[in-house]
Chain A
Amino acid sequence: MGEKHAKLVTRFACPTCRGIGVQGAQRCRTCGGRGTIGRQGDLMLYWGRPIDYRHLAQRHVIAIAQYTVVTILLGFAALGVGGLLWQLILLDQYGVPLWRFWEQQNIWMLTFWWSLVVDSYLVYHFSQEYAKIQHIPRRARRGVTGAAAPPTSWETALQVRRGQTVNLSDLYTAEAIAAVEKSWEFAASSRHHAVAPLHLLVALLQFPAMTEMFVRLGAPFTRLNRLVTGALPRYAVPTGNALTFDAEYFEALFSAYEEAWSRQQKKVDLSELLVACVTTSEVVRDVLYDVKIDTDAIHNVAAWFRVRREQRARYHHLRSRTSYRPRRTTMDRAMTAVATPALDSFSQDLTQLARAGYLEPCLGRDHEVTEIFRIFSAGGRQNIVLVGNPGIGKRTIVNGVAQLMVAEDVPKFMQDKRLVSLSVARLISGVTASVAEERLLHCLNEAARSRNIILFINDVSKMVGISPGGSASLDLAGALAQALTQTGLRAITTALPTDYSRYVENHLLGQVLEKMNIEEPEGNDAIQILEAKVGAIEANYHVYFTYEAIAQAVKLSGRYLHDRFLPEKAIEVLDESAVRTLNEKGRDSSVTGQDVALTVSEKTGIPLTEVTQQESAKLLNLEQEIHQRMVDQEEAVKLVSAAIRRARAELRDVRRPIVNLLFLGPTGVGKTELAKIVASVYFGRASELIRLDMSEYQEKSSVNRLLGAPAGFEGHGEGGYLTEAVRHHPFALLLLDEIEKAHPDILNLFLQVMDDGRLTDAVGRTVDFTNVILIATSNACTPTIQRLTAAGVSVAEVKAKLLSGELQQHFRPEFLNRFDSVVVFKPLGMPEVQKIARLMLQEVGKRLLEKGVSLQPTDAAIDELATAGYDPEFGARPLRRVIQERVDDAIATKILGGELERRDTIILDVGGRVTIKKPARRA
């Protein structure tokens, strides 16, 4: 009862039957079985197609009878024509003039005259049937206004003027009606007591178009079937009423109408019904959620199918409308234009290309196209510059304008005109600036005289600065600006945002061009643009895209390919994924989200595919793997491993680096070593470690080395060391060694990196740091750490003390706050150094194994080396030197002396004694 939703159509449920249309076994007398009605402005909407056994059977019988009668009549009409032909043949044989056929009186002519009557009846019949087809009223599509006062109850909702009632079922396509009827039949045959949107979903799945939609959604049909079967029994509970649509079902029927209305469709079709099922029913949402299909996905796939339908319709419309335009000529229809030979040699006629069907369709850009028409119609600047990044569809918008011009769906002043794309490259190629200017003026003159030309100039900023004389003379862009002002010629141009602000804005040209920003499409908009474009890729490679592939292409390229823009970068990813799928799976296979993830992975080096079992085991045991090469420092190892696991499970904040860690501790305790180990264990190769020795960045000017030289300095345009390294290896470990030694301004740079995950280089490129593990190491506060740990204070307490006091003398609080964690590395004791000595000797052993020789150090030798290499101040750092001197040198002497052969074993003993054990001889 009363208003249910504040939507386009306000629903009112019958107060007697509560919106279901029946009371017990009888039709509700209050609403006459309508159950729920809707009000859209002064229109009253209701579902007026009764669905029960009797009505279904009746309609079936009538349809058969009608079909039979019409077939018989058509057959008779054909017989009549045959009769006339036969009569004509007879007349010809008897030598009677054919035109005297009407004088003949016989059975053939009798049939013919009868058939004429039948023909006229058939014309009447089909015309009547055609008149029955109703479309969503145009007035309703524009929105209904002017209703006196919105109704507030069932009774007031019923009060409409004559002719203001709309039977919803008249606005449904035959297939959509069939789906509704099938859902009822399915519920009836299952002995359910209510028909709900879930039944409608089952019915929809029986239509090939819907099956295709679910294939695109990548739905596992067996699982979907199981889930639906599992959810259906809830409708078998007796309600005390005859089987009828439940209130939610009526809600879905209205919702489908709303969907069609808001998408400006003429009729409610299957895809609108599917969307309505999902939006109105929690049960349907739950079922689909379990097969990884959410409401957004349904909306976007429905949009995909709708766009395909519209593309076909638009193509046919374009074909039929292009017949007005003169073919293969540059003339207008009144032949008042002038031939433009010079312009033709430096340009391409976009309207001719559109007429021939060579231009790609422009979809989802209606707003921009309308804006172009608005600017052209307005009294101000009548020339436009579309400003936007490369690949976001500026050219496509212009192509769209060309197509509309061909179809003459444009304002009057643009009708019967040509859109001509003038090529700056052709104008200036191989000639001096003065010749180029002469060519341009010639072209502009022709265009102005012809009066049927609208110019399109791509990248207009390229014309700035091409000047035939000194700095005071007019450059190409200036000449263009002058011509546009003086001749009233209209032009659409494009420019990149940086070029526009640098070259065009303050130029003469900037004063004649109205700036129109073209934004990069994002999210669902980008998905729907891609859906309109994948048809061509599918036709090229004979593979099919699932919805997930398209959604992944938008999501992953948006997140990981920062140099370029949507939709172009996503199209490229889809294109490459299609090629891979064709090569790996063959023709007619489907491109899945995984295929797209793999393509983006390969382009960026970032693991994006689903975690495999092998990788999952590796991630779970990351600590053990790191500890095979790293002694102690449990906390640091744990933190790094957890951060990597979070990143791979996609639980981290994707707008910041994977993790920002500060390793604090004395020298030689393994800070840098841990970073190297993480790089080689997780990234697979140590080369994914970007190491910056911050002691080299003590000067303020060294910022230029990190970000690249600013304009006017030597090396400008080459990019900085840091930004270039991360741009080429976005998934890497960034190690900032000895960070306390860097200049404070450089530390400020890293504030942005750690907070926003991006940095802009000197060229203006934004570099993505969101897939970087950032580890900074520092020896700051070493004496305190050593003193406190020697006094037996725990690592946690040491860290707390440092953070609250001494560390702030070295780093500003906001810098320290940006780190996810500050890890204190405790100084190494003798047992740790012994373990390290063992690990280092294992490294030596590995190198010797390559020569076929094995190394066996005795425990005493290891202890001796550890003692010699241990220094409380320098940690394990001297150990490497000791091993080099005592072990590597001794073995090198043996090798050079020719004493070692393959299969020999070197025994390393105390005092650096090296003995060689020969293998036992084989019998």
Chain B
Amino acid sequence: MTRSVVLSSLKYFSLDLVGKVLYWPLWWYTVGFQKLMTITAGNVLEEEHQLGVVLWWKNLFVPMYGQYDWQGRIISFFMRLVIGIARIALLVVWFAFSLTVIVAWVLVLPLAAYFLWINVLYAFDIAWWPYA
């Protein structure tokens, strides 16, 4: 009885595993990719909120520290411009990083497959293109 339960469970597990493995590439480029995009977008928006880029640019013409005289306004405008650009630069870096992750996600499987192929051919010392 115990043996049969163990065997049937393992059988069930194996079949389930096969199913999962078959679904994995499909998931990678559909549901998984969608999730990645959602998470990345969330992270970028979070970073934007942290840096306050939009908030900063919205207040470009509002004097800093409540200095409403014309000197204050001018200094404040240039200060905000410089810091605003710096913050955008930081956000761009973050965005670039996120983009890299997305590209890596898309490319990882074909690249790995390609290099695996190359390495397997090498291991068995077979020319991958017999007519070369």
Q: Which residues of A contact B (CB under 8 A)?
A: 53-54, 57-58, 60-62, 65-66, 69, 102, 105-107, 109-110, 113-114, 116-117, 119-121, 123-125, 127-128, 323-324, 331, 333-339, 449-450
Contacts and interface: CB of A to CB of B under 8 A. Distances in A.
Interface string B92-124: 000000000000000011011101101110110
Interface in B1-58: 2, 5-6, 8-10, 12-13, 17, 20-21, 24, 27-28, 32, 35, 49-50, 52, 55-56, 58
Interface size on B, as a range, is: 35 or more
Contacts of A324: 49-50
B8 A58 contact: yes
A120 B35 CA distance: 14
B116 A113 contact: yes
Given A65-B13, A109-B119, A333-B55, A450 B28 contact: no
Given A124-B32, A336-B62, A337-B66, A109 B9 contact: no
A58 to B, nearest CB: 4
A116 B116 CA distance: 10
Secondary structure of the A contact surface, majority rule: helix
Contact of B17 (A69, A119, A333): A69
B64 interface: yes
- Closest 10 CB pairs between A and B? A338-B66, A61-B9, A105-B122, A110-B119, A116-B112, A58-B9, A334-B59, A113-B115, A335-B64, A57-B5
Nearest to B9: A61
B65 interface: yes
Contacts of A127: 32, 35
B120 A110 contact: yes
A62 B116 contact: no
**Most chain A beta-carbon contacts within 10 A, residue among B50, B59, B64, B112:** B112
B119 A65 contact: no
21 contacts: A53-B5, A57-B2, A58-B8, A58-B12, A61-B6, A102-B115, A106-B122, A119-B108, A124-B28, A125-B20, A324-B50, A333-B55, A334-B55, A334-B56, A336-B59, A336-B63, A336-B65, A338-B65, A338-B66, A339-B65, A450-B66
Contact of A105 (B24, B62, B64, B119): B119
Nearest to A337: B66
A62 B12 contact: yes
Nearest to A60: B9
A323 B50 contact: yes
Contacts of B58: 334
Contact of B20 (A53, A57, A110, A128): A128
B60 to A, nearest CB: 10
A61 B118 contact: no
B123 to A, nearest CB: 6
Contacts of B63: 336
A110 to B, nearest CB: 4
A337 B116 contact: no
Secondary structure of the B contact surface, majority rule: helix
A106 B119 contact: yes
A523 to B, nearest CB: 43
A275 B62 CA distance: 57
B106 to A, nearest CB: 11
A336 B115 contact: no
A127 B2 CA distance: 32
A125 B28 CA distance: 11
Contacts of A119: 108
A221 B92 CA distance: 62
Contacts of A60: 9
Given A58-B5, A120-B28, A334-B55, 13 more contacts: A57-B6, A58-B8, A62-B9, A105-B119, A105-B122, A116-B111, A117-B112, A123-B32, A128-B27, A323-B50, A335-B59, A336-B62, A336-B63
A913 B78 CA distance: 118
Nearest to A446: B66
Nearest to B67: A338
Given A69-B17, A120-B109, A124-B24, A61 B115 contact: no
Contacts of A54: 5
B124 to A, nearest CB: 11
A120 B119 CA distance: 19
A308 B6 CA distance: 41
Contacts of B115: 102, 109, 113
Nearest to B6: A61
Contacts of B111: 116
A110 B123 contact: yes
Given A57-B6, A58-B5, A334-B62, A121 B119 contact: no
Nearest to A123: B32
Nearest to A408: B49
A109 B12 CA distance: 34
Given A61-B10, A124-B27, A335 B5 contact: no
**Most chain A beta-carbon contacts within 10 A, residue among B6, B32, B111, B115:** B115
Contacts of A110: 116, 119-120, 123
A107 B32 CA distance: 30
A131 to B, nearest CB: 9
A336 B66 contact: yes
Nearest to A56: B5
Contacts of A113: 112, 115-116, 119
A344 B27 CA distance: 57
Contacts of B27: 124, 128
Contacts of B52: 333-334
Given A333-B52, A337-B65, A62 B13 contact: yes
A123 B122 CA distance: 29
Contacts of B62: 334, 336
